[in-house]
């Protein structure tokens, strides 16, 4: 059983994962990697729980809720526009790149990331090998119907749905909301299909029960 829980300092992971003997060892393994905000923090993306996460003196944990959106959608959108801009200007770091190269040498690979940014993808990881369990910040979806758009031009104010005219919202999972069923199912299928040879948990304090549950189940099923 190999369950590695690594500190947020991702360069340690990066250095280990790019060593040839370790990469060879992963060749015939099914790998599960779980990442959190600590991975993107090294690219300059502030974590919600760090002091840099505050925006205009507002606590992100209170902004990322459907209640905040109902109260002041314009304020919430302004925060997301600025976060999108910051992510566009950021670059994937050695941790993202190491995970992408690990995916290439593993027999089977799945990344479950709690990050809503696109840095894993920009480091070269295919979308098929990745589950963004808390959504994608570059998706804009309708708050009423199933209409959604990806990577559209940011505008000012609150966008409206072209299908039903309801307010559009960012395509992320807010506090208190259920996880997207389709994405949860992809994780469950991966865990149930076969055992994992190695499980890596990086850059997360694993606050959420489901993250701990997936990591432990994958690790306990490993041989
Ligand atoms: Zn709509």
Neighbours of ion ligand 1 (CB under 5 A): 142, 144-145, 147, 161, 163-164, 166
pLDDT of residue 13: 62
Total domains, the chain: 2
Do residues 84 and 182 both lie within one domain?
no
DSSP string covering the chain:
--EEEE-S-HHHHHHHHTSHHHHHHTTT-EEEEEE-HHHHHTTT---TTSGGG-BTTB-HHHHSSHHHHHH-HHHHHHHHHHHHHHHHH----HHHHHHHHHHHHSSEEEEEE---SSHHHHTT--GGGEEETTEEEEEEEESSSS-EEESPPP-SS--B-TTT-PBEEEEEPPTTSPPPHHHHHHHHHHHHHS--SEEEEES----SHHHHHHHHHHHHT--
Q: How far is the CA of 58 from the centre of ligand 1 (A)?
A: 29
pLDDT of 29 over the 90 cut: no
Q: How far is the CA of 140 from the centre of ligand 1 (A)?
A: 11
Q: Provide φ and ψ at 97, rounded to 5°.
A: -70, -40
Do residues 187 and 219 both lie within one domain?
yes
The 10 Å Cβ neighbour count of residue 51 is 7
Assess whether 120 carries a catalytic annotation. no
Q: How confident is the model at residue 8 (pLDDT cuts 50, 70, 90)?
A: very low
pLDDT of 172 over the 50 cut: yes
pLDDT above 90 coverage of the chain, percent: 63
Q: How far is the CA of 149 from the centre of ligand 1 (A)?
A: 11
Q: How far is the CA of 165 from the centre of ligand 1 (A)?
A: 6
Q: What is the CATH number of the domain that holds 221?
A: 3.40.50.1220
Do residues 113 and 188 both lie within one domain?
yes
Do residues 40 and 96 both lie within one domain?
yes
How large is the average pLDDT for residues 77-98?
Answer: 94
pLDDT of 17 over the 80 cut: no
Do residues 84 and 103 both lie within one domain?
no
Q: How far is the CA of 164 from the centre of ligand 1 (A)?
A: 4
Are the beta carbons of 92 and 122 closer than 8 angstroms? yes
Do residues 146 and 204 both lie within one domain?
no
Residues whose CB falls within 8 Å of the CB of residue 203, separated by 6 or more in sequence, listed in order: 6, 8, 10, 35, 36, 37, 38, 39, 40, 41, 95
pLDDT of residue 1: 40
pLDDT of residue 209: 87
Do residues 185 and 81 both lie within one domain?
no
Query: 106 is in which domain, residue-wise?
Result: 1-44+92-134+178-223
Q: How far is the CA of 82 from the centre of ligand 1 (A)?
A: 24
Q: How confident is the model at residue 31 (pLDDT cuts 50, 70, 90)?
A: very high
Q: How far is the CA of 98 from the centre of ligand 1 (A)?
A: 39
pLDDT of residue 3: 54
Do residues 164 and 221 both lie within one domain?
no
pLDDT of residue 27: 72
Answer with the residue of higher pLDDT: 110 or 16.
110
> CA–CA separation, 179 vs 170, rounded Å?
14
Do residues 191 and 207 both lie within one domain?
yes
Q: How confident is the model at residue 68 (pLDDT cuts 50, 70, 90)?
A: very high
pLDDT of 56 over the 80 cut: no
Q: Which one from 2, 11, 134, 151 is the annotated catalytic residue?
A: 134
pLDDT of residue 85: 94
Tokens 């070269």, residue located = 124
Answer with the residue of higher pLDDT: 221 or 97.
97
Do residues 166 and 184 both lie within one domain?
no
Query: Does pTM top 0.75 for this prediction?
Result: yes
Q: What is the CATH number of the domain that holds 148?
A: 3.30.1600.10
pLDDT of residue 15: 65
Q: How far is the CA of 100 from the centre of ligand 1 (A)?
A: 35
Query: pLDDT by residue (tens digit) across 117-167?
Result: 999 999 999 999 999 999 999 999 999 999 999 977 777 789 999 999 999
């Amino acid at each position: 059983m190999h369950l590695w829980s690594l500190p947020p300092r991702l360069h340690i992971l990066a250095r280990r994962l790019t060593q040839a003997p370790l990469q060879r060892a992963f060749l015939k393994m099914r790998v599960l990697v779980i990442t959190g905000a600590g991975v993107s923090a090294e690219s300059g993306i502030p974590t919600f729980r760090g002091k840099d996460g505050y925006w205009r003196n507002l606590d992100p944990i209170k902004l990322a809720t459907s209640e905040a959106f109902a109260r002041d959608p314009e304020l919430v959108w302004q925060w997301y526009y600025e976060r999108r801009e910051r992510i566009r200007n950021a670059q994937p770091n050695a941790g993202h790149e190491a995970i992408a190269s690990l995916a290439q040498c593993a027999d089977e690979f799945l990344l479950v990331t709690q990050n809503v940014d696109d840095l894993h993808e920009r480091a070269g990881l295919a979308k098929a090998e990745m589950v963004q369990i808390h959504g994608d910040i570059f998706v804009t979806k309708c708050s009423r119907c199933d209409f959604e758009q990806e990577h559209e031009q940011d505008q000012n104010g609150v966008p409206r749905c072209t299908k039903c005219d309801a307010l559009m919202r960012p395509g992320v999972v807010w506090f208190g909301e259920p996880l997207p069923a389709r994405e949860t199912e992809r994780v469950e299928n991966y865990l149930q299909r076969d055992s994992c040879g190695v499980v890596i948990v990086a850059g997360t304090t694993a606050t959420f029960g489901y993250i701990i549950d997936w990591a432990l189940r994958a690790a306990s099923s490993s041989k």
